Amino acid sequence: QVQLVESGGGLVQPGGSLRLSCAFSGSIFRIYHLGWYRQAPGTQRESVANLTKYGVTNYADSVKGRFTISRNNAVNTAYLQMNTLKPEDTAVYYCNCWLGVANYWGQGTQVTVSS
C-alpha cells in the first residue's frame, strides 16, 4: 500500500522560504507522477505544481517563478521548494501521486506565512 508523509511545513515571514518533503513508500516511486496541492480554510483544494514521471512540470500561475517541484528517485522523496512566500500561500499542503486510476494522498502539512 502506497503511503505518503509530508514534512517541512511551519511558520515563515513574508518573503521567506520553506522546502516541503514527501516521503513515499509501498511501491516503485519512479513510476508515479507527482503533485503538490494546497487548501486554505473555506476554499477548495487546488493544484500547486505537478511533475510527471517523464520530468514534465506544470505550475499554477500564482506560484510560477517562486515554487519548484522536484523528486529524488534514489530516496523515494518529492520536494516543493517555496521561495518569496506570501501571506496568500498560507494553506495545508498535500502531496499526491498517481498512476492510471491509482491515486494517493498524504496527510498534509501546514504552511503559515505571517509577520
What is the per-residue pLDDT across 47-69, written as a single tens digit (0 to 9) for each? 999 999 999 999 999 999 999 99
Report the percent of the chain where pLDDT is more than 70. 100
Answer positive or negative: Cα dihedral of 101, 24, 34, 32: negative
Indicate the pLDDT class of residue 3, thresholds 50, 70 and 90: very high
pLDDT band at 12 (very low <50, low <70, confident <90, very high): very high
* Residues with Cβ within 8 Å of residue 85, at least 6 apart in sequence: 12, 13, 14, 15, 16, 17, 18, 66, 111, 113
Give pLDDT tens digits for 27-49.
999 999 999 999 999 999 999 99
For position 113, what pLDDT does the model report? 98
